[in-house]
């Protein structure tokens, strides 16, 4: 298999580091495996939005310009995890075997993440350590920019504290060794800000939903995107609901069930953790249907392994009070849906950063259940917005690179 067209030639946006919080998890391992396989010409980039023809003229970083590193709190290496994912039937054995060296290489760039209660030092100090890991990754591998993506375990929603609304109070609390005021996802986001790295939240965790942190990110001009990858059932809903609406049909109820095993299944078996997930899953649909969506259920069904199965039952009012019902059953390896999006996000955020974009990149809402900086949930419209934005960002970069020095150094380098 030949290197894809747009991986030829020289990148205009330089080499991009992809720093994964949760680098040894299922999504991260699949993304790492996939990137190596694509670069080795062993697999096409099916499932990557950015490998579509429409994106071929946009100066995105090439797949081969991406370098993966990250944080994790698990001791199971990426290669070991990949082996496990082979045994569940998800990852193809021959691919994993062929790119064993790349997996070990990536694993050597994984640093210990933050495990609450484990260190006995102020969170501020931990944040500085995490930020330093990101900086060393950037400098140590001659990267033009590093995109941080959180793909770690889903956390429970948190109670609001006064410190969350006041940066000074928050910083004071962070320096207090007796407090653990931020959940891990927010501490990681804070570290990304400190390292001046574009930050993306692929999970439903609290992360940047701490007003003081969000404000800090904005002040420092960090481009951000989130939240909670829209990969399966919610994605399907965001395709169907606008279609029904465009026909003047009225959704009466949208009920459903979710079965999943794997690491995420185990995490979400915890009613606390699942709460956050269900909130972001339902938000978009509520907005798309103006309807009281029936609360969705997520069941942990370990024997399904890495497969997620989702059933939806949609009851719709049509002409003269008639009913139409639509049922959908979706069955897929969850991480196989998420991983190509991680690569897309790295490329697109690399582009954003190179183009000098700051703040919430709402046009990346395409990828998220709960988009930051956008109220658009309809998928077809999100597709259009994404492409338009990417073309404009690309045009800005092309304009810059027609300037004397020819290489774009926006982002952290410029900040």
Ligand X SMILES: NC(=O)c1ccc[n+]([C@@H]2O[C@H](COP(=O)([O-])OP(=O)(O)OC[C@H]3O[C@@H](n4cnc5c(N)ncnc54)[C@H](O)[C@@H]3O)[C@@H](O)[C@H]2O)c1
Interaction between residue 226 and Na ion (CB under 5 A): no
* Whole-angstrom distance, CA of residue 63 vs CA of residue 38: 8
Rounded to whole angstroms, what are the CA distances from 145 to 15, 137, 183, 204? 7, 10, 26, 25
Distance between CA atoms of residues 206 and 292, nearest Å: 25
Contact 132, 112 (CB under 8 A): no
- Among 236, 248, 379, residue whose Cα is nearest residue 316: 248
Which of 13, 16, 18, 21: binder of ligand X (CB under 6 A)? 21
Q: Does 198 bind Na ion (CB under 5 A)?
A: no
Distance CA 343, CA 199 (A): 14
Q: Parallel, antiparallel, or unpaired: how do β-strands 110-112 and 66-72 relate?
A: parallel
Report d(CA 173, CA 182) in Å as an integer: 9
Instruction: Provide the minimum distance between the beta carbon of 151 and ligand X in the complex, in angstroms, as a whole number.
Output: 5
- Assess 314 for contact with ligand X (CB under 6 A): no
Restricted to residues 85-144, the positions that interact with a second copy (CB under 8 A) are 89-93, 95
- Which of a second copy, Na ion, ligand X, none interacts with 265 (beta carbon under 5 to 8 A by kind)? none
Q: Which residue has the tokens 């930050």?
A: 199
Q: From 76, 88, 97, select the one nearest 23 (Cα to Cα).
A: 76
* Shortest distance, position 376 Cβ to a second copy, whole Å: 12
# residues near a second copy by CB under 8 A: 75
Instruction: Out of 144, 180, 312, 334, name the contact with ligand X by CB under 6 A.
Output: 334
CB of 51 to a second copy, least distance (A): 6
Q: How many Cβ atoms from other residues are within 10 Å of residue 351's Cβ? A: 27
In angstroms, the Cα distances linking 35 to 5, 39, 388 are 16, 6, 26
Q: Which does 403 bind (CB under 5 to 8 A by kind): a second copy, ligand X, Na ion, none?
A: none
- Contact indicator for 112, 70 with CB cutoff of 8 Å: no
Q: Which two tokens stand for residue 181?
A: 């005021």
* Minimum CB distance to a second copy smaller for 38 or for 352: 38
Q: Residue 390, interface with a second copy (CB under 8 A)? A: no
Taking CB within 5 to 8 Å according to partner kind, which of a second copy, ligand X, Na ion, none is near residue 371?
A: Na ion
Stretch that binds a second copy, among 74-82, 144-152, 336-344, 353-361 (CB under 8 A): 336-344
State which of residues 68, 181, 259, 345 lies at the interface with a second copy (CB under 8 A).
259
Region binding a second copy by CB under 8 A among candidate stretches 59-67, 83-91, 139-147, 181-189: 83-91
Q: Does position 107 bind ligand X by CB under 6 A? A: no
357-386: which residues touch Na ion (CB under 5 A)? 371
Return the number of the residue (30 or 267) whose C-beta is nearest a second copy: 30
What residues between 224 and 263 interact with ligand X by CB under 6 A?
Answer: 228-229, 231-232, 262-263
Question: Judged by CB under 6 A, does residue 73 bind ligand X?
Answer: yes
Percent of residues in the chain assigned helix, strand, coil, to nearest 5: 50, 15, 35
**In terms of DSSP bridges, do strands 223-226 and 199-201 run parallel, antiparallel, or are they unpaired?**
parallel
Angle between helices 271-289 and 233-246 in degrees, nearest 10 = 20
| Site residues (CB under 6 A) for ligand X, limited to 144-203 | 151-154, 184, 202-203
- Does position 183 interact with Na ion (CB under 5 A)? The reply is no
3-state SS, residue 377:
coil
Binding residues for Na ion, rule: CB under 5 A, are 371
Binding residues for ligand X, rule: CB under 6 A, are 21-22, 24-27, 71-74, 113-114, 151-154, 184, 202-203, 228-229, 231-232, 262-264, 267, 334-335, 337-338
């Amino acid at each position: 298999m030949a290197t894809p067209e747009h991986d030829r030639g020289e990148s205009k946006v330089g080499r991009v580091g992809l720093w994964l919080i949760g680098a040894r998890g299922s999504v991260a391992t699949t993304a790492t495996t996939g990137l190596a396989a694509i670069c080795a010409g062993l697999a096409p980039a099916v499932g990557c939005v950015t490998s579509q023809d429409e994106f071929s003229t946009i100066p995105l970083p090439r797949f081969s310009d991406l370098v993966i590193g990250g944080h994790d709190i698990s001791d199971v290496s990426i290669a070991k995890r990949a082996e496990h994912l082979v045994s569940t039937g998800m990852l193809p054995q021959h691919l994993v075997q062929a790119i064993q060296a790349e997996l070990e290489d990536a694993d050597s760039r994984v640093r210990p993440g933050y495990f609450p209660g484990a260190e006995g030092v102020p969170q501020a100090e931990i944040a500085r350590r995490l930020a330093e890991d990101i900086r060393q990754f950037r400098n140590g591998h001659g990267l033009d920019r590093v995109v941080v993506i959180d793909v770690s375990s889903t956390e429970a929603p948190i109670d609001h504290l006064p410190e969350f609304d006041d940066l000074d109070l928050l910083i004071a609390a962070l320096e207090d060794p007796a407090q653990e005021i931020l959940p891990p996802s927010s501490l990681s986001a804070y570290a990304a800000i400190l390292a001046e790295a574009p930050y993306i939240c692929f999970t439903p965790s609290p992360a940047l939903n701490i007003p003081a942190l969000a404000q800090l990110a904005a002040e420092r001009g960090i481009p951000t995107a989130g939240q909670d990858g829209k990969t399966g059932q919610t994605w399907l809903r965001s395709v169907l609901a606008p279609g029904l609406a465009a026909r003047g049909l009225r959704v009466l109820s949208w009920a459903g069930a979710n079965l999943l095993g794997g690491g995420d299944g185990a995490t979400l078996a915890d009613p606390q953790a699942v709460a956050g997930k269900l909130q972001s899953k339902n938000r978009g649909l509520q907005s798309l249907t103006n309807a009281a969506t029936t609360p969705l259920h997520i069941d942990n069904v370990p024997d399904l392994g890495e497969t997620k199965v989702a059933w939806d039952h949609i009851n719709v009012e049509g002409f003269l009070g008639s009913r139409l019902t639509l049922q959908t059953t979706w069955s897929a390896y969850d991480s196989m849906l998420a991983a190509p999006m991680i690569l897309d996000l790295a490329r697109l955020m690399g582009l954003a950063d190179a183009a000098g974009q700051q703040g919430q990149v709402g046009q990346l809402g395409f990828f998220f259940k709960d988009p930051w900086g956008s109220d658009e949930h309809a998928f077809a419209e999100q597709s259009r917005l994404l492409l338009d934005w990417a073309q404009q960002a690309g045009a800005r970069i092309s304009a810059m690179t027609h300037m004397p020095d020819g290489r774009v150094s926006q982002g952290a380098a410029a900040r």
